[in-house]
Amino acid sequence: MSKLIIPKIIGHRGACAYAPENTLASIHAAADLGVEWVEMDVKLTRDHIPIIFHDEELDRCTSGSGRVADTDFRDIRELDAGAWFGESFMGEKIPTLEEALNAVIDRGLGLNLEIKPCPGREVETAEIALDFATRIWPDDAPPPLVSSFSHVSLESAMDVMEEWPRGLLIDEYFEQWREIARHLDAHTVNIDGLKLVPEQLEDYLAFGKPVLAYTINDPAKALELFGLGIAGVFSDCPDVIREEIETTH
Ligand code: G3P
Ligand code: MG
């Protein structure tokens, strides 16, 4: 398995400023922009099919409503996941993990797969997602970075595929984060770049692993974070951040 090299800019939910988040259209939008990696969220339908979707509820990003964890895949498949974003995306579906992985692989992208379990489904979401992903992902490609806010999901990911690197997502700073990162053998620490406190950043950087920041759409903020030692940022508009980096170097 080749070594993981994390790019400075990762497309968030694909490139979700330009296409409906977490859809195949969003993966292709990112690839068309020349983005190297995308981040996508995976969770389970009621009947345990891994799909790419962020929210616990269907309402914001689809023509449907109700909880993902209460809805079977065949009903989820009927929903429109593009029209809310723009008329030209009408007919876009919520992709399965398998479809999304195939698109990522076909377009030669790297991947940060975020395990985003519905409450109470932390173990099974990681196990099923990793089981699919490890069967599909090419052996000769750099492995995906598997991240989660859920320590339980990361522990399960470690059990299923220890060799795939893990990213510990941290929403709010908490005292025991280092212990947990060590226990999970985290390869990266992924923090909220908009809530950053200088002393906390020092602490994160001192851990000695790449620190990634979400979700950075302001190019000036991205430059500031890179200057402070952040290794990479997640962005809805990765092209805007890249342009800023290119014009300032
Ligand atoms: O993985 C970075 C970022 O996606 C974490 O937050 O809510 O956008 O999944 P969220
Ligand atoms: Mg995410």
**Active site includes 12?**
yes
- Given a cut of 60, is residue 2 above it in pLDDT? no
Q: How far does residue 214's CA lie from ligand 1's centre (Å)?
A: 7
What are the two backbone dihedrals, phi and then psi, of residue 126, each rounded to the nearest 5 degrees? -65, -45
Where along the chain do its domains lie?
A: 9-56+96-248
Site of tokens 């599909």: 136
DSSP state of 59: T
**Active site includes 54?**
yes
Q: How far does residue 147's CA lie from ligand 1's centre (Å)?
A: 9
- Give residue-wise pLDDT tens across range 168-185: 999 999 999 999 999 999
Of 133, 130, 98, whose CA–CA distance to 117 is shortest?
130
Q: Rounded distance, CA 136 to CA 161, Å?
A: 13
Q: Residue 3, class by beta-carbon neighbours within 10 Å (0-12 exposed, 13-18 middle, 19+ buried)?
A: exposed
CB 109 within 8 A of CB 31: yes
Q: Rounded distance, CA 42 to CA 231, Å?
A: 24
- Give residue-wise pLDDT tens across range 39-88: 999 999 999 999 999 999 999 999 999 999 999 999 999 999 999 999 99
- Give residue-wise pLDDT tens across range 206-216: 999 999 999 99
Q: Give the model's pLDDT for residue 137.
A: 98
Site of tokens 């795939």: 164
- First CA to last CA distance, the chain: 33
- The CATH number for 9-56+96-248, chosen from 3.30.360.10, 1.20.1050.10, 3.90.1150.10, 3.20.20.190, is 3.20.20.190
Poorest-confidence range of 4-8, 100-104, 154-158, 217-221?
4-8
- Give residue-wise pLDDT tens across range 118-164: 999 999 999 999 999 999 999 999 999 999 999 999 999 999 999 99
Angle at 147 between CA 141 and CA 148, to 5 degrees: 155
What are the two backbone dihedrals, phi and then psi, of residue 202, each rounded to the nearest 5 degrees? -55, -40
Which protein residues touch ligand 1 with a CB less than 6 Å away?
12, 39, 41, 54, 114, 147, 169, 190, 214-215, 234
Of 50, 92, 91, whose CA–CA distance to 68 is shortest?
50
Q: How far does residue 161's CA lie from ligand 2's centre (Å)?
A: 20
Quick one: CA torsion of 221, 224, 225, 228, rounded to 10 degrees? -160
The residue-averaged pLDDT of 186-215 equals 97
Atom 3 in ligand 1: residue holding the nearest Cα: 214
Q: How far does residue 115's CA lie from ligand 1's centre (Å)?
A: 10
Atom 1 in ligand 1: residue holding the nearest Cα: 114
* Ligand 1, atom nearest to 147 Cα: 1
Q: Per-residue confidence at 236, pLDDT binned at 50, 70, 90?
A: very high
Q: Give the model's pLDDT for residue 248.
A: 83
CB 127 within 8 A of CB 156: yes
Q: Rounded distance, CA 35 to CA 8, Å?
A: 10
* Ligand having the closest approach to the CA of 145: 1
- Given a cut of 50, is residue 247 above it in pLDDT? yes
